[in-house]
Amino acid sequence: MADELGTLECRDLTKAFGGIPVLKGISLSLAPGTITALAGENGAGKSTLMKIASGQYRPDSGEVFVRGESLPSGNPQAAYRLGVAIVPQELASVLEMTVYENIFLGRELSGPFGLRRRAMIESARQILHVFGVDIEPTRRMGSLPVGLRQIVEIVKATNTGARVILLDEPSSAIAEREVGKLIEVMRTLRDRGVALLFTTHKMEEMRALADRVLVLRDGELVLDEPLRNLTDDDIVTAMIGRELEGLFPALPEPGTEAVLEIDNLHVSGAAAPLSLTVRRGEIVGLAGLVGAGRTELLETVFGIRKSIAGSIRVKGTTIKGGTPAAAIAARMAFVPEDRKGAGAVLSMSVLDNATLPRMDKFSVGGLLRQGFRRSQVREAMDAVKLRSRGLDQSMETLSGGNQQKVVLARWLTSPVDVLILDEPTRGVDVGARSEIYRIIVDLAEQGMAVVMASSDMPEILSLSHRALVLRNGIIAGELDSEQLAHPGVQDTIFRLASGLEGIDSSTPDPSTNNQKDN
């Protein structure tokens, strides 16, 4: 009987969003006192699975059982009652309240004279102590670093009697030294018989924590093995898995002329300055973990952030930093990572969104040239095969892939020399993905210098002439096309990105290693 306690069981879960299947029949079981890692690429269905298991989403079919009891679907309160707690990627703590108030939120201790604050403070202190964190419970939550806030969230979850704790990328937002604390807390919970499931992109965390590894790929569970039976390569191969041929077009030969020259650019928050030259027609991929400084670098180059030092030149002309308008005038174009937050004005039409970066071209004395901009924008949108009800359709009613096409193609109504892409296919389905790849390669062929940050490994491997791995804002390693074609390269990138391999240690020699992959 004791063995049954804390078990979470999922049976044949399926879920689709807008007709696109996200989970295709997932079955899994978590034993008490174990830590399970859930790995997979972005969009593989990890978060969806967690949201179903914690009652936030209703599965299209299938069932979740907690300690043998069926979880009423789409009912977070019931999940909470049954002892399932989720610690989301974006924390849900009330920053203006104290630590103990957060821990007791919703289940405050009160007596005949109102809240029993002293009892709550004392009790919070004890619980925190069990986990080896001695934070003063009366401190304001907002004054704690993110890592500690996360631990308080986990403590809060166990304090509500959770027997199953789901953690969505627990280490993505916290500093390196705080990860150790998190690992300790998770181990303590395991020893107390809690079943833990966490998602991660980092190999080292799986190694340090997990008893078992699950890998999701395109909504299917492709790997479910005890960690000790797996090599890093097994996991990576399971994550990437799919046929790369066909999805990516062939890369054209890059030119020789240097178009973008980044010279000793010190990005705010980076460990050191960095230099980079991108040639005409060349696609340079930027790999690295979340928080490695890729987005910061790209945003600094485009003038959204101010740099500490260094210079940026396009075709030999130095760009005035710190303003996107200057970058645009120098024929740069930028497709940001967060499409909804930064890429598009969703309340405006396709036409207006496409006009925005080219206002000088599309207006005379302040008046918009209606016919001209319409024909120019239509031409650009036709070139990327945008599927819409017309140029006047509001952006918010387009699919993710089509929104991304607009955000990319809107630059194409004027010549562009430098194209900066941050996660160009995030949240884009596979079909639209291959079209976007084709567009990027076409643009490079026309002579643009392309810099592309991506967390999608196949993108880095198959869409870059050259890849840089970033860590702490500096280049931890550089891989040329030959190295990128090598079977062991994914492991090399993981190692460079996570700091397991120094800058100086060479990539595996193509002739000796990793024969088993072939």
Q: Residues in the site for another protein, rule: CB under 8 A?
A: 18-19, 302, 304, 323-325, 327-329, 334, 336, 341-348, 352, 355-357, 359, 362-363, 366-368, 370, 394, 396-397, 410
Q: Return the DSSP state at 424.
A: T
- Rounded CA-CA distance 116/451 in Å is 57
Strand ranges, E, within 128-232 = 164-167, 195-199, 212-217, 220-226
Are 339 and 403 in contact by the 8 Å Cβ rule? The answer is: yes
Q: How far is the CB of 35 from another protein (least distance, A)?
A: 38
Q: How far is the CB of 21 from another protein (least distance, A)?
A: 12
Q: Which amino acid is at 486?
A: H
- Rounded CA-CA distance 374/371 in Å is 5
Residues ≥6 apart with Cβ < 8 Å to 238: 39, 215, 217, 222, 223
Structure tokens at 365: 């004395």
Q: How far is the CB of 200 from another protein (least distance, A)?
A: 29
Query: Is 45 or 343 the residue whose CB approaches another protein more closely?
Result: 343
C-alpha gyration radius of the chain: 25
Structure tokens at 303: 């003038």
Q: Return the DSSP state at 87.
A: E
Q: How far is the CB of 390 from another protein (least distance, A)?
A: 14
Query: Is 396 or 517 the residue whose CB approaches another protein more closely?
Result: 396
Q: How far is the CB of 364 from another protein (least distance, A)?
A: 9
Q: How far is the CB of 1 from another protein (least distance, A)?
A: 46
Query: Is 17 or 318 the residue whose CB approaches another protein more closely?
Result: 17
Query: Is 57 or 104 the residue whose CB approaches another protein more closely?
Result: 57
Query: Is 302 or 437 the residue whose CB approaches another protein more closely?
Result: 302
Calculate the CA 347 to chain-centre distance.
Answer: 25
Q: How far is the CB of 359 from another protein (least distance, A)?
A: 5
Query: Is 129 or 340 the residue whose CB approaches another protein more closely?
Result: 340
Query: Is 329 or 503 the residue whose CB approaches another protein more closely?
Result: 329
Q: How far is the CB of 420 from another protein (least distance, A)?
A: 10
* DSSP-based three-state secondary structure for 455: coil
Structure tokens at 154: 């986990």
Are 343 and 336 in contact by the 8 Å Cβ rule? The answer is: yes
* Secondary element (H or E) of residue 490: helix 489-498
- Rounded CA-CA distance 62/64 in Å is 7
Query: Is 356 or 430 the residue whose CB approaches another protein more closely?
Result: 356
Are 407 and 342 in contact by the 8 Å Cβ rule? The answer is: no
